[in-house]
Amino acid sequence: MNIALVTGASAGFGAAICRHLAAAGWRVIGTARRAEKLQALHSEIGEAFLPLPLDVSDKAAVTAAVQGLPDGWRDVDLLVNNAGLAVGLERADTARIEDWERMVATNINGLLYVTHALLPQMVQRGASALIVNLGSTAGNWPYFGANVYGGTKAFVEQFSLNLRADLAGTPVRVTVLEPGLCSGTEFSNVRFRGDDARAAAVYEGVQALTADDIARTVLWLAQQPAHVNVNRIEMMPVAQSFAGLSVARKKN
Ligand code: NDP
Ligand code: 8X3
């Protein structure tokens, strides 16, 4: 395996994954909407990095981008579906429908468009290949305000497992990677719509996971022998654990 396509490469996990893969000898196609951030990564990594500006929620753009990959970059054998976001942390009855739509459009539709565009050639080549989908602990553990975000990540988990079921008998492997609290990315700044102080408070006094922790895990997955499929990985910082079930009591 030697060509990777990483979505959401302009920040956070995606940029770290590109750096780690390139350092390990991969040629990496990095996609995201902010072309200037991808260009900066290109200046840093060099010719092993191909910037591919793209909105994953735009089906036609995804198809065109994949079909238009330059010679020498078409045989993608590692796809990292990382682009995604949470918007808002409101209780469901006060949440904005536009935020829900945006999360579904990016975390579900975007992941599907990219997978659907690349999967046929991955299967037809008949060589070892790997898809890593970024889920989240939010897909496994409900918490206040995660309503649709957690729902999209539960979709990512089940879709990943079903994809692998479809691909049985082919050398294409699928892993869903489900991190918990992770700082140093733009995730909470996006969730809180640019309220950076509120975003920073999420990680105050906590040694959270880092984007490098996630990138090392992706690289490890890519380095497994071709006969090994890791179905799912859930990872948390040691500082994070499980909440108890909540009980709403009547007031006397
Ligand atoms: P960041 O906000 O730092 O990065 C998100 C990336 O996704 C950016 O590169 C952004 O690029 C890209 N992106 C967002 N929307 C689109 C779109 N429509 N089309 C193309 N690219 C898009 O977040 P993280 O690195 O923290 O998160 C990465 C993934 O990991 C997400 O799927 C997230 O849900 C998941 N995750 C994050 C955790 C955390 O605590 N940070 C924990 C568990 C999972 P641009 O804006 O340039 O398009
Ligand atoms: C990101 C982790 O706990 O903010 O998926 O949902 S969390």
Secondary structure string (H, E, C) spanning 174-214: EEEEEECCECCCCHHHHHCCCCHHHHHHCCCCCCCECHHHH
Cα dihedral sign, 23-29-32-35: positive
Query: What ligand is nearest to the CA atom of residue 142?
Result: 2
In Å, the largest CA–CA distance within the chain is: 72
What's the 249 CA to ligand 1 centre distance in angstroms?
38
111 lines ligand 1 (CB under 6 A): no
Give the residues across from 182 on adjacent strands.
Answer: 209
> What is the pLDDT, as a whole number, of residue 16?
99
Which ligand lies nearest the alpha carbon of 202?
A: 2
Question: How is residue 32 written in tokens?
Answer: 């995201």
Pocket of ligand 2 (CB under 6 A): 136-138, 146, 180-181
Domains of the chain: 3-235 (3.40.50.720)
Which tens digits make up the pLDDT trace of 129-182? 999 999 999 999 999 999 999 999 999 999 999 999 999 999 999 999 999 999
Q: Determine whether 149 is an active site residue.
A: yes
pLDDT, tens digit (0-9, with 9 covering 90-100), for 15-47:
999 999 999 999 999 999 999 999 999 999 999
